[in-house]
């Protein structure tokens, strides 16, 4: 990690802070699910069926933190073996996060105030999309399609980081309105968070593609003029 640039350290710090609140709020619930006194208001769905939520919390936390490391250019360049090994962990935990998210969506009974039909189907679709992106990322890198691999991993990471953006937007909404958003408003905020993450991911994908394409085009033009 000594080879990281200053900007990469800043990036890691931002991701750590951004992931902190949802990760901590989720992790403090695990003792309750294992039988300890609750540290936060109890979640009856989690108490009745704790397995998917425990797996989801642990897998999502590892995916979000380890996934950020995978995007560091210096690490990919100087420690490719570590990048590949960590990548296997990221894909495994991301897959568990996506599939347990789907499991909870279809098996838990949510109050209408916390999940309406719009949010239900968004969660189903995005869980499947995240898992499909991870599978495609593995197939792409095996075919030596590095650009396709990075794009797929970035899209899956954008979906996986949805909880962080959702937490931020919900806190902002509560600060502005003075009450917790519920019902359709909450559903729209939750979906908007995923949408914002995916828009940012597509921007980065296209920016990276343009940056890599420009030097190649200049080199070819120079060669043809020589």
Please, which residues have CB within 8 angstroms of residue 158's CB and are 6 or more apart in sequence? Answer: 194, 197, 198, 200, 201
pLDDT digits (tens, 9 = 90+) for 170-217: 989 999 988 889 999 999 999 999 999 999 999 989 987 766 554 444
**C-alpha span between 87 and 140 (Å, rounded):** 13
Residues of the chain with pLDDT under 70: 1-3, 24-47, 210-226
0.85 exceeded by the pTM?
A: no
Please report, for residues 13, 107, 154, the alpha-carbon distance to residue 20 in angstroms, rounded to integers and kept in the order given. 10, 27, 20
What is residue 214's predicted lDDT score, i.e. its pLDDT?
44
**C-alpha span between 42 and 142 (Å, rounded):** 44
């Amino acid at each position: 990690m000594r080879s990281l640039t200053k900007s990469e350290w800043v990036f890691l710090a931002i991701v750590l802070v951004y992931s902190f609140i949802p990760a901590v709020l989720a992790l403090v619930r695990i003792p309750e699910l294992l039988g300890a006194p609750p540290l936060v208001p109890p979640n009856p769905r989690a108490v009745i069926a704790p397995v998917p939520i425990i797996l989801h919390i642990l897998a999502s936390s590892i995916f979000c933190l380890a996934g950020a490391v995978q995007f560091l250019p210096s690490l990919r360049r100087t420690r490719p073996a570590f990048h590949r090994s960590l990548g296997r962990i990221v894909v495994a935990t991301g897959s568990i996060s996506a599939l347990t998210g789907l499991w909870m969506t279809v098996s838990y009974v949510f109050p209408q105030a916390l999940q309406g039909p719009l949010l239900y189907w968004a969660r189903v679709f995005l869980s499947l999309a995240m898992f499909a992106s991870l599978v495609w990322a593995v197939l792409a890198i095996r075919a030596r399609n590095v650009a396709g691999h990075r794009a797929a991993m970035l899209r899956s990471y954008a979906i996986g980081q949805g909880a962080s953006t959702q937490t931020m937007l919900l806190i902002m909404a509560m600060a502005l309105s003075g009450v917790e958003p519920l019902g359709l408003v909450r559903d729209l905020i939750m979906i908007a968070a995923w949408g914002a993450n995916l828009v940012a991911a597509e921007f980065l994908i296209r920016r990276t593609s343009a940056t890599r394409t420009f030097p190649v085009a200049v080199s070819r033009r120079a060669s043809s003029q020589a």
